[in-house]
Chains A and B, each alone.
Chain A
Amino acid sequence: DAGVIQSPRHEVTEMGQEVTLRCKPISGHNSLFWYRQTMMRGLELLIYFNNNVPIDDSGMPEDRFSAKMPNASFSTLKIQPSEPRDSAVYFCASSYFNGGQGYTFGSGTRLTVV
């Protein structure tokens, strides 16, 4: 298995622009998670899905952030409009619910908003 695949690896955008981050989870995993990592706040859970349904989005910082999972093999995290304080590394992770095996993370998308 190729693991969790995220794209792009790096994204540099101007403030106010729309940014879309993409994730392909591991085949057979039924839970998907979006995390944000910064030096100040560490790893923050933004939202997670189970069987393509959003279960908990309490970590989404504000309405500028939205996430979708149209099918079991694809998810997006969108920021519109982007702001400099959104600059961070965004990770997608997947797991098999109740498998107790923890998550498998992707390599992340480093977002820089200038």
Chain B
Amino acid sequence: QQQVKQSPQSLIVQKGGIPIINCAYENTAFDYFPWYQQFPGKGPALLIAIRPDVSEKKEGRFTISFNKSAKQFSLHIMDSQPGDSATYFCAAIPQGGSEKLVFGKGTKLTVNP
């Protein structure tokens, strides 16, 4: 079964810190890797995404690093703020044109003031 493994399950940092969330995939080739941010009572919202031909993508304070050979990708949040406190999901779409996003289990991030 296609899987995306995400760690850690929860993460607490101080304001200004750089939380890092890691994901790894196995067995199946994927060709699109989005990250979603979910606030309590809301649906997940697309935050940033990357394709495997790129090793890094940066949007504002959010950066995705991608290691194709290791089948790993990670999200870094620079200068984290209390407003970044949310649950973050990594995801992947398999090659072959399927629209089925495979989600990681999520990381609950808390940024303390």
Contact = CB atoms under 8 A, between A and B. Distances in A.
B101 A102 contact: yes
A45 B42 contact: no
A4 B45 CA distance: 11
Given A98-B97, A107-B41, A43 B46 contact: no
Interface in B57-113: 89, 91, 97, 99-101, 103-106
Interface residues of B, number: 20
B99 A50 contact: yes
Contacts of A33: 99, 101
B34 interface: yes
Contacts of B106: 42-43
Contacts of B52: none
A101 B46 contact: yes
Interface stretch (A11-19, A69-77, A80-88, A89-97): A89-97
Interface of A: 4, 31, 33, 42-43, 45, 48, 50, 55-56, 91, 93, 95, 97-98, 100-108
| 7 nearest A-B pairs in the assembled complex, by CB-CB distance | A105-B43, A102-B34, A42-B105, A102-B46, A43-B103, A31-B99, A105-B44
